[in-house]
Chain A
Amino acid sequence: MKTLFSLISGVLFGAGLTIGGMTDPARVRGFLDLFGDWDPTLAFVMGGALVVMAIAWRVVPGMARPILADGFHVPTKNELTPKLIGGAVLFGVGWGIAGLCPGPGIAALAIQPAAAAIFVVSMLVGMALLRLIEGKS
């Protein structure tokens, strides 16, 4: 049952990314092209997602636990660390270069399989490199 809802969440997520244009690198890079030919579409995607999730967060305190799990697992860190900022900078540069972030990159495996596969494999290599540097196997 839990696995089914993970799948449903993934399917809805992938459909939303595609309808919203996030699987189209030109659309994403158009949004980031603030000083050129700016395309505001992704601001609407963010806005739509934030409204729904803001409501979901307001429901959480009234629930003893999630419907299918024992508890809510929410990040507890508060500190602004060099890792957070440095990681966000590197991610942003990569996002700007190809117009893909992790969700759309994986979803695009159904749209442009060869190009998306190159991106996703490289992304996993990047994740593995960080683990190597941090000394985890």
Chain B
Amino acid sequence: MTIPGFPDAAPVDGLIGGALIGVAAAVMLLMLGRIAGVSGIAAKAAGLGGSGIDRIGAWAFVIGLPLGALAVMLAQGGLEPSFAGPVPLIIAGLLVGFGTRLGSGCTSGHGVCGISRLSGRSIVATITFMAAGIATVAVMNAAGMDVLK
């Protein structure tokens, strides 16, 4: 299924993937009483503060992420998305790590878990990081910077 005017969009895959993310976050909440915020859980696993989840649980969640990705990749017969080169990846990684801890969350914690419970902080944070991301892509495109080659 496609959306008229957007031939490249994948709305059905998007909805299925999104629902799975929701189920994952619901498991974390209803079974363990925790927010599935990836930046906080990753920080906890790395010993850099972060979520109140126990350290072993944080590692289990973090190890689960690539395992889930691997399962989908195998089921779909391989995926070869283009990634940015080392310099943009390093700059982006530094900003994402610093920014998500300063702002207490990322797309999962604020965007999914926070907005769904109508947290004002999360709604404002999500609008802010989306606006910043949109502005960044617009400026880079205007400057002719194609990081994904």
Interface residues of A (CB under 8 A from B): 2-27, 29-30, 32-36, 38-57, 59-60, 63, 65-75, 77-80, 83-103, 105-112, 115-116, 118-131, 136
Contact mask for chain B residues 31-74; partner A; CB cutoff 8 A; 1 contact, 0 none: 11111101100110010111011101110111111111111110
Asked if B98 and A90 sit within 8 Å, CB to CB, the answer is: yes
Interface residues of B (CB under 8 A from A): 3, 6, 8-36, 38-39, 42-43, 46, 48-50, 52-54, 56-58, 60-73, 79, 81-84, 86, 88-104, 106-108, 110-117, 119-121, 124-126, 128-138, 140-141, 147-148
Secondary structure type dominating chain A contacts: helix
Asked if A48 and B15 sit within 8 Å, CB to CB, the answer is: yes
Having A33-B137, A102-B97, A129-B94, one finds 13 other A-B pairs with CB under 8 Å, namely A11-B68, A12-B68, A13-B108, A49-B22, A52-B25, A77-B104, A91-B106, A96-B137, A98-B89, A99-B148, A109-B69, A110-B66, A126-B97
Asked if B84 and A89 sit within 8 Å, CB to CB, the answer is: no
Asked if A88 and B132 sit within 8 Å, CB to CB, the answer is: yes
A-chain residues with CB within 8 Å of residue B19 when the two chains form the complex: 16, 48-49, 51-52
Looking at A27, A95, A105, the one whose CB has the most chain B CB atoms below 10 A away is: A95
Asked if B21 and A48 sit within 8 Å, CB to CB, the answer is: yes
**Given A83-B102, A95-B96: A110 and B73 interface contact (C-beta under 8 Å):** yes
B-chain residues with CB within 8 Å of residue A96 when the two chains form the complex: 132-137, 140
A-chain residues with CB within 8 Å of residue B13 when the two chains form the complex: 19-21, 41
CB B119 to nearest CB in A, in angstroms, measures: 7
CB B29 to nearest CB in A, in angstroms, measures: 5
Closest to A66 in B: B33
